Structure 1
Amino acid sequence: MSLETQKPAQPVPDRRPGPVRLHRPLLFVAAVTAAGFLFTLAGLVADDRTLGGAPVWLKPMKFTLSFGIYAITLAWLLPRFRKGRRVAWWAGTALAAALLAELGAISFQAARGHYSHFNTMTPVDAQVIQVMTVGVLALYLGNLILIVVLLLRDHALEPELRWAFRFGLLIAFAGMVEGFFMNVPTAAQKAAAQAGQPTLIGAHTVGVPDGGPGLPVTGWSTIGGDLRIPHFLAMHALQLLPLVALALRALSRRRPALGATATRVRLVLVAAGGYAGIVALTTWQAYRAQPLFRPDATTLAALAALVVLVAAAALIVVSAGRSADRRI
């Protein structure tokens, strides 16, 4: 066969996966929160109004920062699912809408100089609470879908990172549920409501009224228990546990004891158990009306026991990994 009649060779198709894009609705939320964070910072400087002893724009600032971190984490995570991509997209979109609704309601109330949470004292306040309730329910449902339908079935991520996100979502969901208990009226609020007096419904401090002395920036009570502490810690397990997994992978390049994937997965599980223990411990401490940095002997003993258990479990896991390497 002459060279003129030979067919040109067909190019081999490139089957390598393309770059994974971020979830756009959640990415939009992250952009909105970045702009909102700058706006609330300006509000803290320009607006000297206070509410409950704190600047009116402090609460929106904290929520924009927290929601932004949460949104960008899920915007990165959701497109990496192999199974149920459509479900993941819609769940993420519902979460994006819920985050925007919550943030809009909180910012609207701050501009009015009114409480956003626990507040049904005027018709407008009651309508805002209804919007926030729908948003919270959407957050619950969206996270539950990701936990049950996706993370328990999908195996797209590396094992240690997959387990970190699984437990991160589970602990974050528990933190959302903890937020529900802040809406339970106190005895004084029940009495005021029965007397027909306008009152807030719910509180985040235990043993003292809301609005007392608090830590800088966070506002967490320094004279009583504060349910916002375990709520905050639980919500950000979704970022901290994956960081533990990534740190273990980075260390495994220099530490042979961490070279096995199974060892790193077990250490992530130990970290998740310890983190859940911290959330439970701070919840227990708050309900006993203790400030975070003024624990009694019982709380300190429980913390010490938790630290010992986590450290012992981590040592056992690492030692088992080393023993397996020697047998090989």
Structure 2
Amino acid sequence: MASGLFHLAVFAVDGGPWEGPVSWRKAVTFGLSFGLTLITIAWVSSFVALGDRARNVLLGVFAADCVLEVALITVQAWRRVPSHFNMETALDTTISRMLAVGGGVLIVVLVTLTVAAFRDGAPGAAPDVALSMRLAVRAGFVALCGALLSGAAMIARGVAEVQTGHQQAAYHVAGALKPAHAVTMHAILVLPALAWLLTFTRFSEARRVRVVAVVSAAYGAAAVVVIGVSAIRFATA
């Protein structure tokens, strides 16, 4: 997150385009987004049925991968070349492939946490997690898996465009799914944060569960609309 804020200051001084594959925007948004996601995953994992050792391993791998992804994207921003779908030089190709591999590692870790979130208990897991929080975490992880699917689709379609000689088309096509990717990614923060805030009210646990369920359903409905529009744009791009 410090990297994202630093590059926001760099953008304010240096200027240049905000949109497009070559801009300071990527260093800013990826730094902030990965930082926020890492903080969120570290927090919500405490409500997931995992032993301490497994949790530490998963969070360690996830943290290292987040740092690597942001570092590679930042390097390309300073080189003023695209970070994704860039096969112009041997270095660009290596970085692009490392980003793809890093994305695969993120998927493995987050899917593992999602599966664990639907377990009722495990050695070392906190036994007193409220049902409202458990519901929020599970809904958030399901939405996050949707973000992973849209991210994988963007990468797959972009790589296919590059391999057929359509470099610029790769960025246009991948951009069509950005709204769907964004809206599903941060449900894992919004919904558990809501469940946590509800603990400061006088609502009974049953009422907190109902509130979380209604908000989760509303969030899911809004996400479906965004995903539908994005999917149409993606398919026709």
On whether the aligned pair clears a TM of 0.5, the verdict is yes
Partner residue in 2 for 1:238: 188
Runs of 4+ in 1 over 6 A off after TM superposition: none
Instruction: Measure the CA separation in 1 of the matches of 2:18 and 2:217.
Output: 37
Q: Where does the alignment leave 5 or more consecutive residues of structure 1 unmatched? A: 1-32, 211-225, 291-328
Partner residue in 2 for 1:274: 218
Partner residue in 2 for 1:85: 52
Q: Which amino acid aligns with 1:179?
A: G
Q: Is the Cα–Cα contact under 8 Å of residues 98 and 135 in structure 1 kept in the other structure?
A: yes
Q: How far is 1:243 from its partner?
A: 2.3
More helix by share: 2
Structure of higher RCO (CA pairs closer than 8 Å, 6+ residues apart): 2
CA-to-aligned-CA distance 1:260-299 (integer Å, 9 cap, x gap): x223223312322222222221111123339xxxxxxxxx
Q: Is the Cα–Cα contact under 8 Å of residues 41 and 61 in structure 1 kept in the other structure?
A: yes
Instruction: Measure the CA separation in 1 of the matches of 2:24 and 2:98.
Output: 20
Partner residue in 1 for 2:228: 284
Instruction: Measure the CA separation in 2 of the matches of 1:125 and 1:56.
Output: 16
Partner residue in 2 for 1:299: none
Instruction: Measure the CA separation in 2 of the matches of 1:263 and 1:204.
Output: 45
* SS of equivalent residue, structure 2 residue 167: coil
Over the residues paired in the alignment, what is the CA RMSD in angstroms? 2.7
* SS of equivalent residue, structure 1 residue 202: helix
Instruction: Measure the CA separation in 2 of the matches of 1:243 and 1:118.
Output: 35
Given the alignment, which residue of 205, 216, 228 partners 2:178? 228
Partner residue in 1 for 2:124: none
Partner residue in 2 for 1:165: 137
* 1:114 corresponds to 2:64: no
Scaled by the length of structure 2, the TM-score of the pair is: 0.83
Partner residue in 2 for 1:16: none
* 1:202 corresponds to 2:152: no
Given the alignment, which residue of 130, 136, 144 partners 2:103? 136
- Aligned-residue sequence identity (percent) comes to 27
Partner residue in 2 for 1:182: 154
**CA 107–98 in structure 1, closer or farther in 2 if over 3 Å, else same:** same
**CA 97–151 in structure 1, closer or farther in 2 if over 3 Å, else same:** farther
Partner residue in 2 for 1:44: 11
Instruction: Summarize the alignment of residues 306-321 of structure 1 with structure 2, pairs less than 5 Å apart.
Output: none
Scaled by the length of structure 1, the TM-score of the pair is: 0.62
* SS of equivalent residue, structure 1 residue 288: helix
For the pair shown, which has the larger CA radius of gyration, 1 or 2? 1
Q: How far is 1:134 from its partner?
A: 1.5
